[in-house]
Amino acid sequence: MSKNSLLSQNPPPTDSHFIWLLNLPLLAMIFLTFFSAMYTSNALAAQQTSIASLQKSGQVKVKIYQEQETASVPKQQLNLVVEVLSAHPFAGDFSLPYLDFDNTVVIQPNEKAELTTKLVNDELWFIQSKKIHIYPLKSGKFSVPAMTAQVKLTIENQGTVVGDVKTKPYSYEVTLPETMKAAEDIIASSHVEFTLNQQSKAERKTDEYQLGDAITFNYKITADNSHVIMLNKLNFVELAGSQIYRKPSNEKDEFDRFEKFNTAILSQSVTYIFQQAGEFIIPAQQVLWWDTVNNQLKEEFIEAQVFQVGEALNSSEPTQSIDKGSVSLVNSLDERSLIKALIALVLLSFFLAIIRQFVKHKSAIMAEFHQVNQTAQKQLTKHYRKQVAEQDYKKAISSLYQLSKISANEVAALGKSLAPTDSSRLAALQQLAFNAANKASKSISFTAQDGDELLQALLHKKRLSNKRQPFSFSFRLNPENKQ
């Protein structure tokens, strides 16, 4: 066979063959990029559903339970614990939504969760928990709806994974013992102390005071496992012949990290300045509380304080002269004059009894005046507006709770029966109060005008259910003796 025929059967490679060979690496890179993009998209899809899949496979669990096992009474602190368990480490603290229930005061949990670990079948599990303090204000059955907790986990080869888990609804019951039905303004606590500290400007060797002297009474109530909003303030009466000055109350809550319980502290101070001579009696003060440990109604009592201002009268000699004069006067009167004197004595006794009733019910009349004038509501409204202006949103929420407490017979959820616009304002205030990130980023706006309009909406809602009890006055000479 000739050389030309061989060339015709096997022609030499053209330029197109060389181009194809040169493009092979480029094609390989295109295929690799395509498969890598598909793998990445699949991984991202797996990440978005990983929390749900982990919960379905039993590697993430959530539960809610009541910390104490004893029966609850109204105003008793009930501790609900929300617990998230994971076979993977946490990348951050889980978060809960804002909680608000009817006839209940809810103290929102801290943003920081408590972290612990435990071994389950030789496998290390990570546990985060948050405690919610709930104070039911009446007896009955209560239900806590399901809550959505946002969880952040660190998954190997995936980084941080964020997803939601949901708790089951939780129900509990609050009972009212028979001994509590007849009493009012009761504190429910494991331990209560009620103390009095007196302060006087001048050192004195006797118990006698002079005109212009002043004395300050510092009353203090401490209640373990309670909140200061559950403590009722003491009432200080005005005394004739003295000037009274009431200082603003000091309210605070303390948490003992070693004993693992919180204490509510209410301090009140009142000063009396004596402007007349005579005997002054500071009325006794009483605090009723339900012992949640022994299930007993108990009383803390501070006796009345008696003070003598000016020199005490020596009544022995005047009494003798009056007695002699009275005897001579009776002996000198005839029968007609004696009847007139008896009638005058009866009339005088009647008028003295009326005056005594007015003096005795002075505190009740003043309390009725403050209720009609809405003194406490006006003070709380002033505090609320100041707190909104200073962006102290947590205290503003607390002021709204207290306004709700004094404006109606029972405390309903703040957001109940509000118009959509007012509900959005309440939600904005709650997010600013219990989410520091929203307040720092200023992504949510809540102006002083929003605060006033929300306040007016809540007061209008509460005013519809408020029924004031009228003051009743008794003309009986001896109201203590019930017939």
- Please name the residues in contact with 178: beta carbons below 8 A apart, sequence gap of 6 or more: none
Q: What percent of the chain has pLDDT over 90?
A: 27
pLDDT at 126: 94
Average pLDDT for residues 89-95, to the nearest whole number? Answer: 91
pLDDT at 291: 93
Where residue 438 falls among pLDDT bands split at 50, 70, 90? low
Q: Residues 454-478: pLDDT tens digits?
A: 888 877 765 555 545 554 545 454 4
Q: Residues 11-66: pLDDT tens digits?
A: 555 555 545 455 666 666 665 665 555 555 454 544 455 788 888 888 899 999 99
Average pLDDT for residues 327-342, to the nearest whole number? Answer: 62
Where residue 367 falls among pLDDT bands split at 50, 70, 90? low
Of 148 and 335, the one with more pLDDT: 148
Tokens of 178: 């028979």
pLDDT over threshold 50, residue 318: no
